[in-house]
Amino acid sequence: MGRINFCAAPLFLLLLSTSSLVVMVVESAIGVNWGTISSDRLAPSIVVNLLKENNITKVKLFDVDPQALSALRGTDIEVMVGIENQMLSILSTSPDVADSWITQNVSTYMTKGGVNIRYIAVGNEPFLTSFEGKLQTLVVPSLLNLQKALEKANLANLIKLVVPCNADAYESTVPSEGAFRPELTQIMTDLASFLNSTGSPFLVNIYPFLSLYQNSDFPQDFAFFNGTTHPLTDGPNVYSNAFDGNLDTLAAALDKVGYGQLPIVVGEIGWPTDGAPNANLNAASAFNQGLINHILSNKGTPMRPGVPPMDVYLFGLLDENAKSVLPGNFERHWGIFSFDGQAKYPLKLGLDSGPLKNATDVQHLPSSWCVVNPSKDISLMSKQFEFACSTVADCTALEDGGSCSGIGGKGNISYAFNGYYQQQKQDPRSCDFDGFGMITNVDPSVGDCRFPVGISVKSTFSPIKIEDKSSGSPSRGNNLGFRIRLDYFASWVVLLWVSLFL
């Protein structure tokens, strides 16, 4: 079933046998992560049409979403479905549960004219240090039980099991000395052995943005692909970008456990457009286009010349306005498209492709906004501001470094009021705010600070998926780690209010 034609970059794998040398050509491809943590979720049928219009034939889901999978039926789009971390405990101990999970969540869709499921992601970054080792021993037993279940269902030749790993699973000062964390060495050896035996790749999530965000000494140009004034020299190898250095560190770690030629897939990588310094449209465009061109050039890395990752999944497809902001306010702004399927910046997903095409058949609400009544005293609106931002309005663009951080106190309150008003589908009562709000037909947007207009019920699908609050990781996906925390968010809003008026 279809590979993505416009981004073909040959990956040559050499297979040795007793009689001959066999050369397999595998195409690298650019896919996307389709996250759904949004209070204004586009209908899955619209999203699938968006994928097809942009010739995206690989998509990664973070769970088994029946509505998304239903919309994907009958397409050639290759799908990766996910198993949440909370399932690992039972899957690792019960072959019957593994059989049942495959039957209900995979076999059901693998019919003629069904869904083209190619990968199952088992857990989401289960080796993160923040999980304190609670999940790591569950991974390989879960894989073994699920593999047997796939074999029983006669699907083992079609579907591969993978484990999304965060880059904190390995470490080094230079790529050639890369090694898995000591406590993971045996587990990663067993994992790599399993992947090798089943013909599965090693799946890793890489985020140069986070390196820049978390470390003020990180050279900014090293995060991108246009060359750097701070190259990293490692023996004969010279690295001009963080991505290659990270991949080769992983390659060295795999080599140390005996599987240095294991194919690598990048499960998540991207750049946010708002919510933090360096998170903006220009930077996101430069990073993602540079990444795509780098992958499709077939250049590879210094340690794997001519061998780029098998596939790369951009994070993400759409903005998700209800994700937790615990890792940072940028979490809601990773999409290459806005929440309503509109391209946020020029981006070519293939060497010969055109720019992104917007989603079609999206019905927006009328051109109406909720703003502060100019006759009212904004110093009396703290309660209303906090209510708007702590319920459904996304106020992350107001934070320092955000696209709306410079619009002043009245602008901030208007932005919050409007966010709430749009989420309430422009119900006039939702703009009252104890008499402090008013409805206007004049767009209050200022420069790069856009006051959004919501989408109609006809273009949306379902209410927001409320996430678990378990402690865990800063994954960009639907990890158990960072979930909606209204108590935290309310405290953030109070702090923002204080910064505005004191």
Q: Provide the annotated active-site residues.
A: 125, 268
Total count of residues recorded for the chain? 502
Between vectors from CA 488 to CA 486 and to CA 493, what angle results, nearest 5°? 90
Residue 130 main-chain phi, psi, to 5 deg:
-70, -15
**C-alpha distances in Å from residue 442, one per residue of 365, 369, 416, 452:** 14, 8, 17, 12
Structural element, H or E, at residue 268: strand 264-269
Buried b (16+ CB within 10 A) or exposed e, 112-146: eebbbbbbbbbbbbbbbebbeeebbebbbbbbbbb
* DSSP 3-state of 494: helix
Distance CA 60, CA 406 (A): 36
* DSSP 3-state of 437: strand
Distance CA 315, CA 269 (A): 5
In sequence order, what DSSP letters do the residues of 325-383 get, joined into one string?
-SS-GGGG---SB-TTS-B-S---SSTT--SPPPPSS--BPPS-EEEE-TTS-GGG-HH
CB 97 within 8 A of CB 90: yes
Structural element, H or E, at residue 196: helix 185-198
348 residue type, one letter: K
Q: 112: which residues sit within 8 A by CB, 6+ positions away? A: none
Q: 173: which residues sit within 8 A by CB, 6+ positions away? A: none
